[in-house]
Structure 1
Amino acid sequence: MDQRENFVLCKKRGETLIRKPGSLNGYDFIIEDLQDCDVFILDHTSQIQIDDCINCRIFVGPVGGSAFIRDCKDCRLEIACRQLRTRDCERLNLGLYCYTKPIIETSTDISFKCWMGAYPGLVEHFKSADLDPSINTWYKVYDFNKDEDFGGKMHWAVDMEAPAEYWEVPCEGEDGRPSGPLENPVSLPDGTRYSPTGSVSAPRRTSSGFTEAALLDATVTLSNVQVTAAKKRLTKKEIEQRRSLREDKLCSGEELSDDEDWDMDEYIGPAPEE
């Protein structure tokens, strides 16, 4: 294989395409013009571009920089990255670890859930990509087109209660034997953690002493966004005040504090009547 070809997958149809651990070692990678393919990038990279893919399943190990997904349709992706940006995509199902808030642009029917990928050596790849698995803002989506109507289509949704169905990818060494145990260092939203058997360990408690699963669960729809999350309750007046403050800061390019980033941290909806 030409050395350059090792870092590009292009113009494939109906194939299973694999890059094994140690084959990329932090270099950039490009995935382009694939249809009906299964792709497994089982190594850490510095940046990845995924363009013009249709009806593919794409598994991407830790990306130390940005992951760009553009002009893709009807794909399932499991991806861990520092920054995610999608543009002109439709009907994507994303299992995501993202160190910063994911960004979508002119995209519709994008579904987010927490990263549930597992393969041997994944813990070390997170370290090599300089990603902290305890910091995962996959659900704090920023939509550049949140006020635009794309024919009534939903822009994006997050699922905090997705079942713990891991995408496990065993790897074989040169001798044909398993190269090591399956790993996933990223906790689920309720605090449960992956174990090599495919089950999950007991949920951790929050600082208040309760597990996340014991908090209020709610599903709401707001500005083309469907959100499922554990949240506190706010009055209508508080909602409008926080929404206005948040939009002003976003428009000016200011960073939101944890208190102001209320989309996922507090309940969107009127408090119950006393």
Structure 2
Amino acid sequence: MPITGLDHLMLAVPDLEEAADAIAGSLGLRLERGAVHPDFGTANRTVRVPGLYLELITFTDRAAAVRRPVGERMADVLAGGGGWLSFVLGALDLTGTVRRLRRRGVPLDPPHEGRAVRPDGEVRRWWLAGHGTDFRLGRMPSVIEYEAKGQVDPPPEGLGYELRGVSRVDVATDDLAGGVHRFGALLEQAPEHGHDARLGVDTAAFPLPDGTSVRLLGPDTGVRPGLAGVALAVTDVSAAAEALAGRGVPTTGGPDGEIHVDPSRTAGARFSFREAA
């Protein structure tokens, strides 16, 4: 399979510093590294979690940014106060992957180059596909390949719980059957169907090669189509709940054993914790 798994998660925020403080204060994850994207009119702060990274992103040049579908979607998300923007999949041989997927009917635009410029002048280049209409509408993620691999950071410490990484991303749909068709073509597999008792909606989960999964949610979740939630894998859910309570962050339990964090405490992003497999 040309798709390697989750590469990163994008969280659109009005203010990078305030959002970074909220994430640190609630989850213990500290966002320190940052860069600007001159070709996109945006800037970010990132933090590594095992296996991928979380990206807080905001406008530096709104007029330039909204000329692209990703900027249009950012504008929509920020108009609601901020929240999950999308997730990004990693790929090998992005050009060949896109060509083959397009032949299968997957509406991915051809890859285009982007770059991140860090405060010390270091430039990191990548190629990105999938920032078209389906991305803007929250129906599909984008796919990325880097010029060179990024540095591998050690697992975060001092959280009060052991974080293993991301277990699952939840994607809201306005048509579950349509979402299954699109993601089935993108990921070249059939999903496992289920039901989320807490949300009261049917689901369809696609496993990824890196051990994570993409779970589509049926309509009527009350959130816009697109990335709706992220489940973090921990060794001990009770320890995670205790650590968050120590920071003054309440959690609520669900019938599946996960605990859920109030998104008002995490820059508009819905996070949950579940036991690592």
TM-score by length of 2: 0.24
**Greater relative contact order: 1 or 2 (C-alpha under 8 angstroms, separation 6 or more)?**
2
TM-score by length of 1: 0.25
Q: Which has the larger radius of gyration?
A: 1
Higher percent of residues as helix: 2
